[in-house]
Chain A
Amino acid sequence: MTVHQDRTFEDLRNTVHEYCRILRRRWRPALLGLTLVSTIAFWISQQLPREYGTTTLFERRDDVVLRNLVRSNSPYNFGLHKSSLALDMTGSRALAEAASAIGLVPPASASSGEAPSNEEMRRVENALSKYNLRATVRHVASTPNLDTIEVRCTANEPTIASRFVAALRDGYIARTREQIGQALLNSRSFFLNEIERLDAQIDEANRRLREQCGDFRGIDPTNLSSAGSRLEGFEAEVERLRQRLAELDAQIATREKFLTTGALGDSAAYAEPYAAEAPPLLPETNSKLDQAIHRVEQEIADSILLQRMTNEHPTVKSLQRKLDSLLAAREAARSAAPQAASAPSESPPPVRRLAQQDPVMAGHRLRVELELDALRAQADVARRHLEDAQARQEKYAALYARLVDAGSETRKLEEQIEQDKTTAAVWRQHLAQLERILAAENEERGTQFVLLEEPKESPRAIKPQASAVFAVCLGCGLAAAALLIALCELTDRSFRTASQVTRALGLPILECITVIDTPKVRRRRMIARLFWTPALSVLVCVFLISALLAYASLEHPRLHARAMSTLNEALQTLGAPPTTLINTRQEGG
């Protein structure tokens, strides 16, 4: 064989090759150290205290109505709760309540709603430290209206961890709902009071408005134009009645003239006496017409100036027409008055004379007398109606004038009523929504919380982690193997490489003869194998079993407990004392 120069640690390839050669040479002690130390480490790892974790997930959403309600009327709001979530869930009070809820501390000690005392907190801390309980809370997702909250709890007992995290969550939900309910109730009473106050204000304003109209039923004090229209109606009625009365008076006068003159001739004979005997226009009629004209002019002026009506407005037009007719009537009355004044005052009644002479005439006379009586009766009625209508007209005119005078106050009252009604409507709407939320909050969990994930009691320990345990155990084994190899190499004073011989002796290496595979060598090798193979196999088996048990103790504790009980039974059957290498806490869990 060719003799190689010693460049073991000068070249990386030679270095690696040298290490591989050493490993090939010393694989038995290396495997021995690896398996022994790793096995011990795996058994020790089963004694390490376990830590179990549980997580629950829930959503808390903020109702828009609720947010608007409580933001303006209560110190409570969603943002405040968002920022104080950690304190609310993992604060001393929350921990004390949760510990009390799952029975870690006496229930009476933490049942009160106030902050726990120092003694109670000491008791709670002792209980928490006994089970190594730790709780953390975080926002998985956070939006202005929706929070996804994760509560995580770790303990050395999986059951305790899951119960504690559920108690923390339920306590937080209960407290928050209580706060929400309190805020809602406060808002509700506020809204009710406000609505009541506004209703009273509206009633008072309405009463004051009604007072302006007095006895005039059906009159809307806020609607001045309708009152004016009604006044116009009354005035038109008065005018109509007056004209009717004038017509009746004229007919009465005609018949009276007929009865007086008894004219049966031509129409001229009738017309002349009739015209002569037509009653003259009375001075009081003129004054009334003047008053009516004056009143209508006043109304027109009010409509245009106060009520801001134009000339095209129907009310103004009707008033204008009425004014025109009144003016025409006054003109007619004034033109008729001189004629009446110039007519003869004394003349014999022609009709009576004719009736005495002619029976037909007498029949006519009788008929005219009857008609005259009827007309007089009608004129009396019309006169009474006219008087009533004039009285009403005057009252309405007074009311109208009062309404016009109180226009600004009416408008103020009207605006106040409108504003109060709007506010009350808004409060009523809020109250309805609030009632809906309150009704929903009385259900199981209300609308604010949605449970996404219940805490699960996981038997798998989160600490120590299997990967870390395996890394540490195998690392210890590898370190032991490396140490053993190093010890073997250090204590071995024999030559291992040709370069060592050259360095030590300064002699040339003639040749390197490999191992001659003789039966003796084979026998020696076989004997070595007979010893080493079972020994190393047993070691490797123990190592693998230990690793499996360590893995099972972390990932499948129940399986591990069963395996250990089986192992104990087997040991007892063999007469050996049962192994104590079982995690008692884990068994308890």
Chain B
Amino acid sequence: MGSMQKVMQKLRAKTATSEDVALLAPPGDARELSCGFAVDPTETALSGFIPVPPTCADLQESPEVVGDVGTTTTPSPSTENCPIDTSTIEWDAGNLDPSLVTFHEKYSSTSEQYRSLRARLLNMNAQRKHQVIGITSSLPQEGKSVTTLNLGMVMAEDNDQKILLIDADFRRASLARMFGISPKPGLAELIRGTATLADVVRPTHYPNLKIITSGGTTDKNYGALLGASAVRPVLQRARELFDYSFVDTPPVNTVSDVGMLAPHCDGVIIVIEMRRTPEHSVLEAVRTLQTTNVKILGCLLSRYDDQRGHYYERYYSYYYNNE
């Protein structure tokens, strides 16, 4: 056991890739899970999941997605191709939205705040009860998408975690816009069954961070799309394939989409923009979410203007510069 711990520590230190793990792990010592993740049979709790990319077989073994979206018959998602691989793409910093601060300014104090959010989430979720986390707000433009992206990226900094970002806001398609990519194919196509999971899962700069954009919609009946029965298998599949999935949702008070999407999530984070969002609006959103029996993990305060932040930033910069 001791030798295995050392091996695992070395692996963490090196932020080893899945291929390295495959090479290092002796056959028979590591057990292949149905989801394609290798786990130490002796020290599961210690080592956790070792990221092993899901194979095409994994996707094919996933439960079928069936159900209707209103009157539309949604075909089951195609699983012929392997959607999740370790391939990465190089991001052009010029095309990326400047608010992706964890990419542009990786060691800024704001990035550190997102890392702090990550640590808090991981501490809260030690039992891995909440793998699919919705990120919503009471009003538009409060920073849901920015939070989703930055949180996903700081979560992906740890190679042990496989992260999926899902854009469920069909109206704005913020994730695609911020990455500078086409929203299609995306979640809408996946729900409708016109595209497979492998089609909609997009690679990113990070090997363990994937994105599902919102997709294209022909009509404005977004609520019916999210209320379709196909949503649950999609999120269930994501729960199985990824350690954490963050769903960028529409605002609660503006549209009713969240009411249909949130019950499928394990928890919800409410983004509150300081000095803008009225108190009653947030209270109404919380009340709406509570009526859907969704667990609210907590609040994230965006655009928090506190001089103490600048105060700490000075020490943070000093620390990093000396390092």
Contacts and interface: CB of A to CB of B under 8 A. Distances in A.
Interface of A: 1-2, 4, 21, 24-25, 492-496, 498, 500-501, 504-505, 507-516, 518-520
Given A494-B274, A510-B297, A518-B99, 5 more contacts: A495-B272, A509-B300, A510-B298, A514-B309, A515-B305
Given A492-B275, A501-B299, A21 B304 contact: no
Contacts, number: 115
**Residue with the greatest number of chain B CB neighbours at <10 A, chosen from A496, A498, A516, A519:** A516
A1 B116 contact: yes
B225 interface: no
15 contacts: A1-B304, A25-B275, A504-B279, A504-B283, A507-B296, A507-B298, A510-B120, A511-B300, A513-B302, A513-B304, A514-B303, A514-B305, A516-B98, A516-B110, A520-B99
Q: From A24, A498, A511, name the one whose CB has the most chain B CB atoms within 10 angstroms.
A: A511
Contacts of B146: 516
Most buried by B among A24, A494, A508: A494
Nearest to A493: B278
Given A492-B275, A496-B274, A518-B99, A511 B116 contact: yes
A504 B101 CA distance: 30
Contacts of B286: 505, 507
A494 B98 contact: no
A506 to B, nearest CB: 9
A18 to B, nearest CB: 11
Given A1-B312, A498-B304, A519-B98, A513 B272 contact: no
B304 A512 contact: yes
A494 B101 CA distance: 26
A513 B307 contact: no
A514 B282 contact: no
Contacts of A498: 301, 304
B117 A501 contact: no
Contacts of B121: 510
Q: Which of B120, B147, B279 has the most CB of A within 10 A?
A: B279
Nearest to A504: B279
A21 B306 contact: yes
Contact of A513 (B98, B113, B277, B283): B113
A519 B143 CA distance: 15
B305 A25 contact: yes
Interface in B300-323: 300-309, 312
B129 interface: no
B242 interface: no
Contacts of B116: 1-2, 511
Contacts of A495: 272, 274-275, 277, 279, 282, 301
A508 B270 CA distance: 10
Contacts of B99: 516, 518, 520
Contacts of B274: 494-496, 512
Contacts of A492: 275
A84 B297 CA distance: 91
A385 B148 CA distance: 170
Contact of A494 (B97, B277, B300): B277
B244 interface: no
A518 B150 CA distance: 14
A493 B279 contact: yes
Contacts of B308: 1, 4
B276 A513 contact: no
Interface string B88-120: 000000000111010000000110011011001
Contact of B113 (A493, A514, A519): A514
A5 to B, nearest CB: 13
B252 to A, nearest CB: 13
Contacts of A500: 279
A424 to B, nearest CB: 100
A408 to B, nearest CB: 117
A505 B299 contact: yes
B223 to A, nearest CB: 26
B178 to A, nearest CB: 11
A511 B280 contact: no
B193 to A, nearest CB: 35
A509 B312 contact: no
Nearest to A21: B307
Nearest to A514: B309
Contacts of B279: 493-495, 500, 504
5 tightest CB-CB pairs across the interface, nearest first? Answer: A512-B304, A511-B117, A510-B298, A518-B98, A508-B298
Given A4-B308, A493-B278, A513 B109 contact: no
B98 A505 contact: no
B166 to A, nearest CB: 20
Contacts of B120: 510-511
Nearest to B276: A494
A512 B113 contact: yes
Contacts of B269: 510
A243 to B, nearest CB: 145
B275 A510 contact: no
Q: Which of B147, B269, B286, B304 has the most CB of A within 10 A?
A: B304
A294 B110 CA distance: 154
A404 B98 CA distance: 146
A357 to B, nearest CB: 180
A2 B115 CA distance: 12
Nearest to B109: A514
Interface in B238-282: 269-270, 272, 274-280, 282
A518 B143 CA distance: 13
A169 B293 CA distance: 96
